[in-house]
Amino acid sequence: MKTMKVHVVTPDGPVYDSEVEMVSTKAQTGELGILPGHIPMVAPLQIGAVRLMKGVNTDYVAVSGGFLEVRPDTVTILAQTAEKSSEIDIERAVRAKERAEQRLRERQQENIDFKRAELALQRAINRISIAQRRI
């Protein structure tokens, strides 16, 4: 099988570098699967999983939005935040989920930023499901 280089980078530095056979993730427009030789493109991403497949192995990286750029033989994901599944602190994500849910329950009260709480909840659920491989 042909492979391509994949780099996942955040403002804090690189998170994942490898040679893979396929990258699949959630773009703003829907599921996106990239194989070697894909035409160059840039796509904005949703909060979601990046699946990186090579042979029988699949690596999972949680991203919270950003961009995917395809260039000849290289895919670069520039993410706001990114964690490999093995590096996700589940307890922290569960605490973040509970905080976000609490904020959403209190949304009738003043000073609750609904969109911000909603995004925090999505990030937490995404991290929990990737850490538990329930994706």
What is the binding site for ligand ATP (CB under 6 A)? 12, 64, 81, 83, 87-89, 92-93, 96, 120, 123, 127
Task: Please say which residue, 71 or 95, places its beta carbon nearer to ligand ATP.
Answer: 95
Beta carbon of residue 94, minimum distance to ligand ATP (angstroms, whole number): 8
> Do 5 and 19 form a contact (C-beta atoms < 8 A)?
yes
Which has the closest alpha carbon to 71: 119, 16, 4? 4
Would you say 15 and 83 are in contact if contact means Cβ atoms under 8 Å apart? yes
Q: How many CA atoms lie within 13 A of 49 on its CB side?
A: 20
**Minimum distance from CB of 81 to ligand ATP (Å)?**
4
How far is residue 34 CA from its own chain's centroid?
15
Residue placing its CB nearer to ligand ATP in the complex, 16 or 83 = 83
Q: Which is nearer to ligand ATP, 21 or 101 (CB)?
A: 101
